[in-house]
C-alpha cells in the first residue's frame, strides 16, 4: 500500500494505492495471499452455493489473480483486455460456451468498473458471471456488488470524485500508477 495522491483507474482520486504487482511478482506470496479466497470459493462450490467453470481476469491487474485462483481451484483461467477502441473484450482465441459460469478475478476492487466491463463482454458472448474475487476490496462501506464478492482483504481507503478531491484542493499533484488510459 502506498500513500499519497493517486488517480485511480476508475477516474476517482485516493490517498492510498494498492500496488498488487509488488506482491504478485512473488508466486509463493501470491499463492499464500489468495489461498483463503480459493478456499472460500471451493467451499461454496462444494455446497452448491456457487458454480464456476473458469476464472477471467480483466487485464492487466486481474490476469495473475485469475491464473493463481484457477491453479488452486483446478479451473481454467483466461483474461479480457481492451481492444483498439478501448472496449473490454475476449481475444487471443479464448472461447466460452453459452451459459458458461465465470468468476471474475481482480487485484483491487474500488468501484467495480473493470469487472463490470469484463462481465458485459463475457455476457455478450453468452457467459454468466457468478462471483467476483479479488486481493483487495477497497469499496466504500456498504457499496453494493453485482455478484458475491470474495476478497483476501477489505481495507478502508478514502476516494473521491475528481471534482471533490480533498487532495486536489490542497494543491497536491496526483500520480496515475494504473494501466488504464482515462
In this prediction, residues 111-137 reach a mean pLDDT of 93
- Looking at the domain assignment, is residue 107 inside a domain? yes
- Looking at the domain assignment, is residue 141 inside a domain? yes
Total domain count for the chain? 1
Which residues make beta-bridge pairs with 89?
A: 81
117-137 per-residue burial string, b: 16 or more CB within 10 A, e: under 16: bbbebbeeeebbbbbbbbbbb
- Looking at the domain assignment, is residue 71 inside a domain? yes
Residue 170 confidence (pLDDT) above 70: yes
* Side-chain half-sphere exposure of 127, counting CA atoms within 13 A: 26
In this prediction, residues 115-122 reach a mean pLDDT of 93
Residues 6+ apart with CB under 8 A from 102: 52, 53, 54, 55, 56, 96, 122, 127, 128, 129, 130
> pLDDT band for position 114 (50/70/90)?
confident
Over residues 48-98, the pLDDT tens digits come to: 999 999 999 998 889 999 999 999 999 999 999 998 888 888 888 888 999
User: What mean pLDDT is reported for the chain?
Assistant: 90
Q: What is the pTM of this model?
A: 0.85
- Looking at the domain assignment, is residue 55 inside a domain? yes
Which residues make beta-bridge pairs with 145?
A: none
- Looking at the domain assignment, is residue 174 inside a domain? no
- Looking at the domain assignment, is residue 124 inside a domain? yes
C-alpha cell belonging to residue 77 = 483461467
- Looking at the domain assignment, is residue 126 inside a domain? yes
For residues 135 and 152, is the Cβ–Cβ distance under 8 A?
yes
CATH of the domain at 35: 3.40.50.2020
pLDDT at 179: 60
- Looking at the domain assignment, is residue 113 inside a domain? yes
Residue 19 confidence (pLDDT) above 90: no
Q: What is the residue range of 50's domain?
A: 19-156
Residues 106 and 63: their CA atoms lie apart, in Å, by 8
Amino acid at each position: 500500500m502506498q500513500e499519497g495522491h493517486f488517480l485511480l483507474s476508475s477516474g476517482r482520486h485516493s490517498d492510498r494505492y494498492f500496488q498488487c504487482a509488488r506482491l504478485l511478482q512473488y508466486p509463493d506470496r501470491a499463492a499464500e495471499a489468495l489461498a483463503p479466497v480459493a478456499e472460500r470459493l471451493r467451499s461454496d462450490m462444494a455446497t452448491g452455493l456457487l458454480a464456476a467453470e473458469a476464472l477471467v481476469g480483466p487485464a492487466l491487474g486481474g490476469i495473475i489473480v485469475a491464473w493463481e485462483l484457477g491453479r488452486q481451484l483446478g479451473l481454467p483461467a483466461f483474461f479480457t483486455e481492451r481492444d483498439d477502441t478501448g472496449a473490454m473484450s475476449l481475444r487471443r482465441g479464448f472461447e466460452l460456451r453459452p451459459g458458461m459460469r465465470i468468476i471474475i478475478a481482480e487485484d483491487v476492487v474500488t468501484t467495480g468498473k473493470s469487472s463490470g466491463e469484463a462481465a458485459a463482454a463475457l455476457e455478450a458472448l453468452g457467459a454468466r458471471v457468478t462471483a467476483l474475487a479479488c486481493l483487495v476490496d477497497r469499496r466504500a462501506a456498504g457499496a453494493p456488488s453485482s455478484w458475491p464478492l470474495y476478497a483476501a482483504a477489505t481495507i478502508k481507503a478514502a476516494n473521491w470524485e475528481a471534482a471533490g478531491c480533498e487532495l486536489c484542493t490542497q494543491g497536491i499533484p496526483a500520480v496515475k500508477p494504473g494501466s488504464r488510459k482515462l
